[in-house]
Structure 1
Amino acid sequence: AEKERLRLEKEKELARLRVTQERVQDWLAERDALRAKRNQEAAEREWRRQELEKARKKAELEQQLRQERLEQVAQKEEYVAMQLEQDRQEFQRVLRAQQEQLEREKLQWEQRQLRQRAHAQYLRRQIQELQQQRQRQREALIEEGRQQQQEARQRSQRLAHFGQQKLQEL
């Protein structure tokens, strides 16, 4: 009976040790599982953090690209506006130059016209003066011819008168 009791106690002790060992193993397994779970969660957190960091960097990069594109568009618009302003100023300069050239040509044409009119008027005046001078010369010749005829008549009359006087005296 004593042997049996010892054997039973041993078995109980063994069973208790097994239970304790199983508990320790379960506890260790739970601890390992908990550690593995924590490691898994930490790894997942790290993965999510990395993914969030990647997404943040990607968003920043996209934002930066958008900003750079907007700046490029603004610069291009500014360049185009500046080019348009330069083209407008060049067009205005060319237009002014053409208008000034047209004004100069118009002024030269008007001056030429005035000179031509003045020259034509001068020529007409000279022709008129020449005609008047010829007319006066003709009139003077006619007058001179009349005076000569009158003088000749007067001489003839005087001669005739003298001739008659002489005849009467004789």
Structure 2
Amino acid sequence: MLFACGGGSNTGSDVGTNPGTPAGNGDSGCAGSCANANSFLTVDDIQKVIAQAVAEAQAQSKPATITVIDRVGNLLGAYRMTGAPVTQRVDSGRGISGGLEGLPIPSELTAIAKAITSVYFSSEGNAFGSRTAGQLAQEHFAPGDITAPSGPLFGVQFSQLP
């Protein structure tokens, strides 16, 4: 899963959507909505992010499906590496039946849904950031421990699936 900020204001303006904070108060001046035309990701930026993610996945010998979305959840790019799973099985490890439990979901959709969930949980200035959300929503609450049960918010990422 990979996500990046690409703007996303629906105002059509090339000026930031937040006037920022007054100068001289020691603040960075951005309250989470300071995107402008120069802060949007270009095609080259998106390709670079995907290439860096591919390089990292190759270094770890873990083929992955990589998605890049902007800060409001628009898909900017997706790439499934050779050898990456075509589908992901929804499994909370809690013996739940119904809903999406046990179903195979296309890996591109799960990567997009997880990235969107992370973006929706993250914003500047909030204590509940994307890292915390990622921990709570992952398949195994203790990362890398396949014997651990899912996080308390596992499944929320699938709420974004069409």
TM-score, structure 1 normalization: 0.15
Whose radius of gyration is greater, 1 or 2? 1
Of structures 1 and 2, the one with the larger relative CO (CA 8 A, separation 6+) is: 2
Which of the pair is proportionally richer in strand? 2
